[in-house]
């Protein structure tokens, strides 16, 4: 029979072992990590992002993969082994491609009730609208005068008076480039007396410059604001003048750029839970967070687009300098899905060949 002292010693050792197992994390313990795949233009104030990280005890890693088109292509190529848990930045020009590839899990946040139903069209319950912006022609005010006024209508851009002035993004590689192509299709059509193909042929004859992405167009080739290029007309956003005021050094009261509100295309950006994520609950929580008042109110001066939720607070500098687009051009998402590849191929044949 075991002695009483021996039994006590064994019991004490067992208790110590149990306590050590419960109290001390094993060698595999590590901070939880959530990965967001997005485009290069994504931005959020650090303090706002830290709110989510603190609330969920997680580190958010942001994986930027170029333009929205490049991001979607990357997500599709890695769908069997996703690089991230959440995707942000697919827009209504590329949405059908992502939906057809089956890269998202269905999720609809409760806060969707505070989002205009027009922004949820064609989402199939798989993606959540986070922001929207109007892709429009921007001009460098200093380049124009009474003798050569800034263009006010899309058709003006084929006028020889604006020869060599325009820079656009390639719709095959850039979401604003594709949005502008869709705007011209919506405006001129395929069966009208003057078709969208003829419009682009006219732009080519008028020495238009085509670049791969928005950064190359606006920050490098455009002459307006802080840019150093020599082209005073560019495809950008109705909200781009806001950034020109916010970042001006020295400060300015008025943007040096202006927006042509004819021929604008409304671009909606979405967030979604990626199929195959190992952290589905956390991924859904992050989509919820992106529709929260704090994140939504951070959007105007972080990404210079409009927040999707009616709960957002919009700064006065944004309201004062963003151009109001009374009638943005829209196309049925089903028509975009059915024709996008053909339209891009035809554009390439007209413009680049």
Instruction: Give 43-50's long-range contacts (Cβ < 8 A, gap of 24+).
Output: 43/302, 43/303, 44/295, 44/298, 44/302, 45/298, 45/302, 48/294, 48/295, 48/298
Report percent pLDDT > 70 for the chain: 91
Pairing between strand 209-211 and 166-169?
A: parallel
Domain ranges of the chain: 32-132+268-321, 134-266+325-351
Q: Mind giving me the DSSP string for 199-230?
A: HHHHHHHTT-EEESSHIIIIIIIB-STT---S
The pLDDT tens digits of the residues spanning 18-32 come to 334 444 444 444 569
Q: How far apart are CA 314 and CA 270, in angstroms?
A: 19
| Cα 10–chain centre separation | 63
Give the CA distances from residue 285 to residues 56, 64, 111, in Å, rounded to whole numbers and listed in that order.
Answer: 9, 20, 12
Q: What is the mean pLDDT of the chain?
A: 90
**Three-class secondary structure of residue 333 per DSSP:** helix
Q: If pLDDT is split at 50, 70 and 90, which confidence band does 337 have?
A: confident
Structure pTM? 0.84
Separation CA 36–CA 42 (nearest Å): 10
Please say if the pLDDT value at position 4 is more than 70: no
Q: Does residue 242 carry a pLDDT above 60?
A: yes
Distance of CA 14 to the CA centre of its chain: 57
The SS3 of residue 124 is: coil
Could you tell me which of 1, 301, 7, 348 has the C-alpha nearest to residue 178?
348
Decide: 176 and 267 in contact? Cβ < 8 Å: yes
pLDDT digits (tens, 9 = 90+) for 260-316: 999 999 999 999 999 999 999 999 999 999 999 999 999 999 999 999 999 999 999
Residues in CB range of 243: below 8 A, 6 or more apart? 225, 304
pLDDT in tens, 168-205: 999 998 889 999 999 999 999 998 889 999 999 999 99
Question: pLDDT at position 294, please?
Answer: 98
The reply to whether domains 32-132+268-321 and 134-266+325-351 share a CATH topology is yes
With beta carbons less than 8 A apart as the criterion, state whether 289 and 283 touch. no
- CATH fold label, 32-132+268-321: D-Maltodextrin-Binding Protein; domain 2 (3.40.190)
CATH code, residues 134-266+325-351: 3.40.190.10
């Amino acid at each position: 029979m075991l002695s009483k002292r021996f039994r006590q010693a064994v019991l004490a050792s067992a208790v110590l072992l149990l306590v050590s197992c419960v109290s001390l994390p094993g060698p595999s313990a590590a901070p939880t990590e959530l990965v967001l795949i997005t485009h290069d233009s994504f931005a959020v104030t650090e303090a706002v992002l830290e709110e989510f990280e603190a609330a969920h005890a997680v580190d958010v890693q942001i994986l930027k993969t170029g333009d929205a088109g490049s991001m979607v292509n990357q997500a599709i190529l890695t769908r069997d082994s996703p690089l991230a848990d959440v995707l942000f930045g697919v827009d209504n020009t590329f949405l059908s491609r992502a939906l057809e590839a089956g890269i998202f899990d269905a999720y609809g946040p409760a806060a969707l009730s505070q989002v205009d139903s027009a922004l949820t069209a064609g989402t199939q319950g798989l993606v959540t609208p986070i922001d929207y912006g109007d892709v429009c022609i921007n001009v460098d005010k200093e380049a124009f005068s009474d003798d050569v006024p800034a263009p006010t209508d899309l058709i003006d851009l084929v006028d020889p008076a604006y020869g060599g002035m325009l820079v656009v993004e390639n719709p095959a590689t850039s979401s604003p480039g594709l949005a502008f192509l869709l705007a011209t299709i919506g405006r001129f059509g395929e069966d009208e007396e003057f078709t969208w193909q003829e419009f682009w042929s006219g732009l080519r004859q008028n020495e238009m410059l085509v670049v791969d992405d928005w950064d190359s167009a606006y920050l490098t080739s455009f002459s307006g604001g802080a840019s150093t290029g020599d082209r005073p007309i560019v495809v950008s956003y109705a909200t781009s003048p806001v950034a020109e005021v916010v970042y001006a050094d020295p400060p300015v009261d008025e943007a040096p750029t202006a927006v042509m509100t004819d021929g604008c295309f409304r671009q909606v950006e979405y967030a979604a839970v990626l199929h195959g994520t190992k952290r589905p609950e956390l991924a859904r929580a992050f989509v919820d967070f992106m529709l929260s008042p704090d994140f939504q109110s951070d959007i105007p001066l972080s990404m210079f687009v409009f927040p999707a939720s009616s709960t957002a607070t919009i700064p006065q500098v944004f309201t004062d300098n963003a151009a109001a687009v009374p009638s943005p051009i829209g196309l049925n998402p089903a028509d975009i899905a059915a024709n996008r590849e053909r339209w891009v191929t035809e554009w390439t044949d007209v413009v680049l060949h």
